[in-house]
Structure 1
Amino acid sequence: MNMSQGQLATASTNEQVNIQPSNRFEQFFLHLELIAALVSGLFILIGWLFSKWDNHTYSITFYLLAFIIGGFAKTKEGIEETIKNKDLNVEMLMVFAAIGSAIIGYWAEGAMLIFIFAVSGALETYTNNKSQKEISTLLSIQPETAVRIVNGQETTIPVFELKVGDQILIKPGERIPSDGVIIQGSTTIDESTISGESLPITKGEAEEIFAGTINLNGAITAQVTKPSNETVFQKIIELVQTAQSEKSPSQLFIERFEGAYVKIVLLVVLIMMFLPHFLLDWSWNVTFYRAMILLVVASPCALVASIMPATLSAISNGARRGILFKGGVHLESLSHVKAIAFDKTGTLTKGKPEVTDMIVQPNLNKSELLRTIASIENRSNHPLAIAIVNYWKSNYQDNLIHPDKIEDIPGKGIKAWFHNKEWLIGNKEFVGQQEAEQFENGVSLSLESCGKTVVYVKGSEGIVAAIGLQDIVRPETKKSLMVLQNEGIHTVMITGDSKNTAKNIAAQANINEYIAECMPETKVETIKKIKEHYGIVAMVGDGVNDAPALATAHVGIAMGEGSDVAMETADVVLMKNDLSRIAEAIRLSKKMNRIIKQNIIFSLSVIMLLIASNFLQFLNLPLGVIGHEGSTILVILNSLRCLRSID
């Protein structure tokens, strides 16, 4: 059913009116923890004012309200986690400390402890919500309907009803509902949600489009190539969700450490409630007061918050740039990589052959001869033939001509006739080994020694041309590898190609080392040897044959345009086939690890300083609360730096 622009505008307005209150309601609950903390702070202020007016009943009432409102969320979380894990946690330490402060008459300090703990909890929740923003954004822009064309009729249907082979209409300004191939029309597409690339890309017939991207300026018809649950867009969502739920080794260690540490703190606090009274002649009031301060300052809140917020922030930052980590463990490991092995085809190179040389007999017209060759090759779907035709189209505007007759000989070449003249285009054996070698000697041809594939052209007067083709190194490859080498990373190319080809590509890419003639199983053995020599090793690949090597490396990195198997096996996926993203990922990993180290050192230093000050009786409860909870807030704020640009 088609709608006029006026109807569409009305529908859009109605949709906004219906959605807005729901969003406000959701926003309120998103910030409920922070609102509760602020209300708690307000009640503390009112309680403090009443205490100044010597109205202790009202003062304690408002402090008690501050306890309940500010501490509800964290107390509930602490009790649930304790029951679930059958182990005490930081939240319970804070509850005990606040109750202990109230017992000895320090209502204001106990309420302040709850308030600052609630603020730090709200800040941590904000960090987690911020890290989920990329997922929320992706989910919110995921198209729900598509316009399917059947026998010329347009029907709007839910996206999940689309099947492979369906034809869909995508109008200007609409989000593309499914992965597909353009079969009619051309347009400019914003693919930033998929690749992280901000510049729009112009696409025409036979080119791929992806779900969730925006069709900017042209109406196109496309054929669906994947079900809605298998699109690249859906895989991004699944990968980021998996990454955010998986914990790094550091985080797992801190969580194991937390349970034992809490028990030790409680035991030490219990001892301190009695021992100083007998050993140091402290009064019972002072002894209990110092024990409560110890309970506050020895709690590892800042230490526990040192890792997860930073990890989640870094994962979100990477997702925004088109770098998808499948877990914190891989993000953490990436900064320790000492060597990176690269597949050649489709990774260092474009993955498609291109014409690099065309040697023609001196007395012939090159453009006319190339037109004849391209006209013949235009009838073949062989990659080399397509490369030759593309070379013609990029250099000349004349129309191709139609051969009288064509015969394709698989594995050898193609035979064609123009005006009763026979043409042969193919390898040496097909056109004649001896004639090909004579032609090479005559023009001093040495393309094969450079690792290039040579196609010979034979006319009625013999061999008239030789065309050199090669899989071209990506424009960004050399610069990307240089950046990695400047970081002290050894680069290795692993390829199944011949030594000549590998040597030539390695020279163009400026790679440190190359290993040629590798089968998939040889790649695995090669990765193992590199690991023995360099330690932590990453592998970058895009094909099915790279999957075993990707799994063998400490960190497997897949190119986003590669095979599904490679993407499934890898630990990191580059949604845009841009090698410069690897250096970005490593810098992001180093930044995250650096921030985590800062957090851990800072939090431990604060805890030790506060404990020592308490034993020396320099520290009172309010300063203990501010020092302890303040350090937690600073640690979380420091972790948020991982959301910013990569240094």
Structure 2
Amino acid sequence: MNPTEARLLNADGTTKIVPVDEVKVGDTLKVLNGDQIPTDGVILSGSTSVDESSINGESIPKEKNVGDEIYGSTINGSGTFTMTVTKDSSETVFSKILAMVNQSQKSLTKTATLIQTLEPKYVTLVLLLFPLVLLSGPYIFGWSWELSLYRSMVYLISVSPCALAASAVPTTLATISNLSKKGVLVKGGAYLSKLADLKAISFDKTGTLTNGKPVVTDYMFDKEADEKELIDIVVSMEKQSNHPLATAILNKFVQGRDLNLTVENEVGRGLSSVFKEDTYRIGKPTSFKVISMNYKQKEKQLSSEGKTVVYLGKNEHVIGMIALMDIPNQYAKDAVSYFKGAGLHTTMITGDAKLTGEAVGRVIGVDEVVANVMPEDKASIIQSQQKKYGSTGMLGDGINDAPALVTADVGVAMGDGTDVAMDVADLVLMKNDLSKLVYAHQLTKKMDKVTWQNIYFSMFVVIS
């Protein structure tokens, strides 16, 4: 998760690869295409697109130019740039994970904490009763001093608090250890009991329920057109583009040839190029005027499914279309189904448009979709759910999810998310695998059951 190396730019223009923890605020770094950005900073020269889905919840990469702020651990796109460092390495994701691991050893479940609170009082009471047990033998029951002392020692051993203490603490630590091996970091055992008692759970969309990266889901071209040639034209244009959706289109049409076209990026109109004396353009639907009813109907259908549509035009006549979408990840549907089956109310909270949010929500099967949400509104939504349903959990991955993660009874951060999200969350899923949260919920249910079994058995031993 955490970048380990950075390209330090020297005064003479040469670069030197150094460990990230040696980078200081004010240093100048060079970031190549595809690199993981080493730390927070500001771009000094160059332009690129950066995948910041873990920070702003947007699945489409964001264009960055001189003066723009960039964040450590985000992924650089196709451009190369230099940056000045604005954040020390002591604030890295990895250092915060270490802090969470240390915290988890100091915090126990509610039951274990209660036992640890009562234990000293219990021991004091047992010791105060010891002289009474010892003296009652000879003076009340007529035992010899030897027999009375023997039975008093048996009393001390049988009512020892060891069994009671061992009923909760080892169970909690074993659960934390088990979850750690499965890739779930827990800030403290107290949150394990809260996880088992949840009545509702809310999910951020981008990067939590979805993969966080758009892919081509549909495409169509005029029947009388040469589809192979059009794909070659599209690929040739997108290869020279910094368009946020270019990578998804190129990943789809890997069979396309590069025709070495000259491409112009027109603000508000998209990409345009000339091939065989015809002008081709790739742009958003509203930038075209000559559109057949067939394409209009198809675009309306795809948009209702939450997909982003771009048109391909030839001499300003639309002859093709491509639809893209940030699709649900492979674990989302099963995880939501499990929590619904366990009696929890499931909600998807997203800053995306209502149409997009509801389309994804239908696929995944959540009970409720709340769309067009600003980051500051997420916390109030969690508060309203706590009043309506009771104990509520929240899953998120970005800075925009942090207020909601803090407000929730149990905040769960995705491992590929931001350091802020992981800092304020109570649990961290290291591999963005929602099946691990299902496992954690099942294990905490078992933990509570085993803990109370141990308590009942230990008290039975003491009493008998």
| TM tier, smaller | 0.7 to 0.9
Shift in alpha-carbon separation, 1:326–1:436, aligned structure 2, 3 A:
farther
The CA distance in 2 between the partners of 1:346 and 1:600, in whole Å, is 41
Alignment CA distance shift 1:262-1:179 (3 Å): farther
Q: Displacement of 1:334 after TM fit?
A: 1.2
- Partner residue of 1:595 out of 445, 450, 453: 450
1:476 has 2:331 as partner:
yes
- Whether 2:283 is the aligned partner of 1:422: answer no
1:407 equivalent to 2:268? Answer no
Query: Which residue, out of 308, 314, 318, partners 1:459?
Result: 314
Picking from 122, 128, 131, the partner of 1:270 is 131
Does residue 306 (structure 1) correspond to residue 164 (structure 2)? The answer is no
* In structure 2, C-alpha distance between the alignment counterparts of 1:167 and 1:424, rounded to whole Å: 34
Q: Which residue of 2 aligns with 1:284?
A: 145
**SS of residue matched to 2:142:** coil
> Which string of whole-angstrom CA distances, capped at 9 and with x for unpartnered residues, describes residues 545-579 of structure 1?
11111111111111111122111111100110111
Larger proportion of strand = 2
- Aligned partners of 2:308 and 2:324 also within 8 Å: yes
The one-letter amino acid of 1:491's match is: T
Q: CA deviation at 1:258?
A: 1.1
CA distance in 1, matches of 2:316, 2:285: 16
- State the distance in 1 between where 2:358 and 2:140 align: 78
- Note if 1:337 corresponds to 2:205: no
Which runs of 5 or more structure 2 residues have no equivalent in the other structure?
Answer: 40-71, 74-84
User: Taking structure 2 as the reference length, what is the TM-score of the superposition?
Assistant: 0.79
Q: 1:443 to 1:544 in 2, by over 3 A?
A: closer
| 2:307 and 2:324 in contact (8 A); partners too | yes
Partner of 1:565: 420
Is the contact between residue 493 and residue 506 of structure 1 (CA under 8 Å) also seen in structure 2? Answer: yes
**Structure 1 counterpart of 2:443, one-letter code:** L
Contact 2:291 2:317 in 1 (8 A): no
**CA displacement, residues 48-91 of structure 1 (integer Å, 9 cap, x when unaligned):** xxxxxxxxxxxxxxxxxxxxxxxxxxxxxxxxxxxxxxxxxxxx
Equivalent residues of 2:8, 2:16 under 8 A apart? yes
2:225 counterpart SS class: coil
2:395 is the counterpart of 1:540: yes
SS of residue paired to 1:455: strand
Question: What residue in structure 2 maps to residue 380 of structure 1?
Answer: 241
Pairs aligned (count)? 412
Bigger mean CA offset, 549-558 vs 460-469 = 460-469
Distance 1:517 1:314, change over 3 A: same
Contact 1:265–1:295, Cα closer than 8 Å, also in 2: yes
Partner of 2:459: 604
User: Whose radius of gyration is greater, 1 or 2?
Assistant: 1
Per-residue Cα deviation, 1:265-285 (whole angstroms, up to 9, x for no partner): 122112222234333333333
Tell me if the contact between 2:350 and 2:373 (Cα under 8 Å) persists in the aligned partners. yes
* Counterpart residue number, 1:489: 344
CA contact (8 A) 1:306 1:599 kept: yes
Structure 2 Cα separation of the partners of residues 422 and 560 of structure 1: 45
Please give the alpha-carbon distance, in whole angstroms, between the structure 2 residues aligned to 1:443 and 1:596: 58
Maintained 8 Å contact 2:347/2:367: yes
SS in 1 for 2:213: strand
Instruction: Provide the residue aligned with 1:525 in structure 2.
Output: 380
By how many angstroms is 1:444 displaced? 7.9
In structure 1, what residue type is equivalent to 2:331?
Answer: E
Provide, for residues 120-166 of structure 1, a one-character-per-residue CA deviation record: whole Å limited to 9, x for no partner: xxxxxxxxxxxxxxxxxxxxxx9x99999999x99998885467887
Letter in 2 for 1:318: L
Q: Distance in 2 between matches of 1:146 and 1:564?
A: 19
**C-alpha RMSD of the superposition:** 3.4
Secondary structure (helix, strand or coil) at the match of 1:254 reads: helix
Conserved 8 A contact 2:172-2:189: yes
Contact 2:6/2:29 (8 A) holds in 1: no
More helix by share: 1
CA gap 1:593/1:285 in 2 versus in 1, 3 angstroms: same
- With over 3 angstroms needed to count, the CA separation of the structure-2 counterparts of 1:154 and 1:513, relative to structure 1, is closer
Distance in 2 of aligned mates of 1:249 and 1:156: 48
Instruction: Give the distance between the partners of 1:446 and 1:158, measured in 2 at CA.
Output: 50
Instruction: Give the counterpart letter for 2:188 in structure 1.
Output: G
Contiguous gaps of at least 5 residues in structure 1: 1-141, 169-177, 182-208, 211-224, 610-647
Which deviations, in whole Å up to 9, do the C-alpha atoms of 1:203-239 show, x marking residues without a partner?
xxxxxx99xxxxxxxxxxxxxx997655555444332
| Runs (4+) off by over 6 Å | 144-151, 153-159, 162-168, 178-181, 225-228
The amino acid of 1:422's aligned partner reads T
Q: Quote the offset at 1:376 in angstroms.
A: 1.7
SS of the residue corresponding to residue 247 of structure 1 reads coil
Task: Verify the 8 A CA contact 1:480 1:580 in the aligned structure 2.
Answer: yes
Distance 2:136 2:299 in 1: 96
Secondary structure of residue in 2 paired with 1:566? helix
Partner of 1:454, secondary structure, is strand
SS at match of 1:383: coil
> In structure 2, what residue type is equivalent to 1:261?
Y
Note if contact 1:537-1:555 (Cα within 8 Å) is conserved in structure 2.
yes
Mapping 1:344-363, distance limit 5 Å: 344-363=205-224
Residue from 401, 411, 431 that aligns with 1:556: 411
Equivalent positions of 1:190-201 (< 5 A) are none
Q: Counterpart amino acid of 1:386?
A: T
Tell me the distance in 2 between the aligned counterparts of 1:307 and 1:500.
Answer: 48
Hey, what's the Cα distance between the residues in 1 that align with 2:5 and 2:294?
61
Aligned-residue sequence identity (percent) comes to 39
Residues 497 and 157 from structure 1, CA distance in 2 versus in 1: closer, same or farther, beyond 3 angstroms?
closer
Distance, in Å, in 2 between the alignment partners of 1:444 and 1:407 is: 23
Shift of 1:485: 2.8
> Take 2:9 and 2:282, find their aligned partners in 1: how far apart are those partners?
42
2-side partners of 1:377 and 1:533: how far apart? 49
CA distance in 2, matches of 1:520, 1:157: 36
Structure 1 residues 145 and 477: alpha-carbon distance in aligned structure 2, compared to 1, 3 A threshold = closer
In the alignment, residue 416 of structure 1 is paired with which amino acid? S
